[in-house]
Structure 1
Amino acid sequence: FYLPRLFVYHVEHQSKKEFVEVVQIQEMKIYKYIGYPAMWATFLSGAWMLYLNPVILESGGWMHAKIFVVVFLIMYSLSLDYYRKELLAGNCKKSGKFFRAYNEVPTLLALLIVGYVITKTFSFLFTFISIAVFAFIVYKIMTPKR
């Protein structure tokens, strides 16, 4: 949840070279030493759980929905490394507002995952409301203040 915030600082303070160098070090350490290993630990423990208890896949659509959202969370995590490398190379064209909005993506995905697990159901209404609230938050972040 912190890495996109660092991307905001990186993008919005590019004229301050020393500051950006410190932020780049933080970005690398957070991704390589915390984010990437945590992603793999989560993936492997989930795969191991399914291997030990495959009947859980027969418990309804909620587990399939959860796995689908987890795949998006993994893609999000990998995209953070892409943006980190783009920023490092000076090729990133994204704005601070984009990264502020992008910072909300894992919150939505976590909300969906936890909601599916707690209710043990796949509800289109729950999914729609969650995505609508997320879209509203992103809209508020991206809309210029008057």
Structure 2
Amino acid sequence: MLYNWILWFHVISFISWFAVLFYLPRLYVYHAEHSDNKGFIEVVKIQEMKLYKYIGVPSMWATIISGAVLIYLGDWMKAPWLHAKLLFLAFLIAYFYSLGVLRIKLLNDNCTKSGKFFRMYNEVPTILMLLIVAMVVFKPFS
């Protein structure tokens, strides 16, 4: 029963983290495309900070910690599909932290990335999500 509760929490955390991963780059699009509107940009900067720090970081850590507990309780470390999932997770964590670096650059008004870049960059978590979920559902390499 404990495993199911932790799995429930893991899925909720995962969904919360992905809400940030999908929406934050969209805010960056608005930020990049409306840099001449200072009042708008100041509001967007606050939204970016709150989304990243208050939702993104805690939900990422909740996802990682609950996932680690699930691996431990389920004795999954020998499963080959899990190693692929963890590799994609590492890419996802790196992507998340890259969003933090970009946020700081936008905050300091020295980001040279365009709205088009951020639209394309916003596709990265979708691809990683598809791969991560496929590993869990189909359990390839087993």
Equivalent of 1:105, from 115, 124, 134?
124
Q: Trace 1:1-146 onto structure 2 (pairs within 5 A).
A: 1-53=22-74, 55-59=75-79, 61-122=80-141
For 2:118 and 2:97, locate their aligned partners in 1 and report how far apart those are by CA, in whole Å.
15
Letter in 1 for 2:104: K
> How many residue pairs were aligned?
121
Contact 1:116 1:122 in 2 (8 A): no
Task: Give me the whole-angstrom Cα distance separating, in 2, the residues matched to 1:32 and 1:15.
Answer: 25
- SS of structure 1 residue aligned to 2:59: helix
TM-score normalized with structure 2 length: 0.81
Write the distance in 1 (CA, Å) between the matches of 2:26 and 2:82: 31
SS in 2 for 1:56: coil
- Cα-Cα RMSD: 1.3
Q: TM-score, normalised by structure 1?
A: 0.79
Q: How many angstroms does 1:122 deviate by?
A: 4.2
Runs of 4+ in 1 over 4 A off after TM superposition: none
Give percent identity, aligned residues only.
60
- Answer yes or no: is the 8 Å Cα contact 1:9–1:96 preserved in 2: yes
- Secondary structure at 1:58 match in 2: coil
What is the CA distance between 1:24 and its match in structure 2?
A: 0.5
Amino acid at match of 1:17: K
Gaps of 5+ in 1: 124-146
Measured at CA, do residues 12 and 50 of structure 1 come closer, stay the same or move farther in structure 2, by a change above 3 Å?
same
